[in-house]
Amino acid sequence: MTIRRLTTALGGLLAFSLFALLLAVQFVPYRVSNPPVLENPSWDSARTEALARRACFDCHSNEVEVPWYGYVAPLAWLVRDHVDEGRAALNFSEMNRPQEDAEEATEEVFEGEMPPRYYVRLHPEARLTDAERRELAVGLDATLGGKDGEKRSVSEARRGVHSEDDDEYDDDD
């Protein structure tokens, strides 16, 4: 057998093995599932809910809309891991249980940390303008509570969301 034939045979065997491995991992049942919605927040407004659904619910709820790649391993595993982390931090579908990081949602949205840039690149519909970001942050503050965890009126929330330092938090996208 010549070196060329051996190289071709090894290349074919490697390609077949890689294909077989990718096919086999499709049967690992580690995908996103949507448990029942137990309790939704008492939203301060329909607009806050609409913005949250658009920008937050695919990681922070039991109403995840899984994209096509979320069904193909190993990407499905990555999606599941991100959703699990998001739900652990804040789950809008389980407001009947303590949401330990809920008070941080306002600040993370306002500062542009949420939704994450990688997510917005894959889901352009989740992109928030600066005005929408502020509106969502104020609405989340009024719905979930600020740093002290107590719900505030929208006017109180507006005063509490960096009202004098807005330029410092502008999104530079």
Taking only the tens of pLDDT, the chain with its 173 residues reads 688 887 888 888 888 888 887 777 777 777 789 999 999 999 999 999 999 999 999 999 999 999 888 899 898 999 999 999 999 999 999 999 988 888 899 999 999 999 999 999 999 999 999 999 999 999 999 999 755 545 555 555 555 554 444 444 344 44
pLDDT at 15: 87
Q: What angle do CA 44, 100, 158 make, to 5 degrees?
A: 35
pTM of the model: 0.73
Domain regions of the chain by residue span: 1-29, 31-169
Q: Is the peptide bond before 74 cis (omega within 30 degrees of 0)?
A: yes
Task: Please report the pLDDT score of residue 167 as a whole number.
Answer: 43
CA pair distance 94, 52, nearest whole angstrom? 15
Contact call for residues 83 and 119 (beta carbons, < 8 A): no
> Distance between CA 8 and CA 162 in Å, rounded?
64
Cβ-based burial of 82 (10 A; exposed 0-12, middle 13-18, buried ≥19): middle
CA distance 132 to 129: 5
Secondary structure of residue 65 in the 3-state scheme: coil
State how far the Cα of 140 lies from the Cα of 133, in Å rounded to an integer: 10
* DSSP state for residue 128 in the 8-state scheme: -
Q: Locate tokens 């809920």: which residue? A: 102
Q: How much is the pLDDT for 90?
A: 96
Residues 163, 143 contacting (CB under 8 angstroms) = no
Q: In this predicted structure, what is the pLDDT of residue 28?
A: 72
C-alpha closest to that of 129 among 145, 115, 149: 115
What is the pLDDT, as a whole number, of residue 14? 84
Token digits of residue 98: 């303590």
What residue has token string 């959703």?
Answer: 83
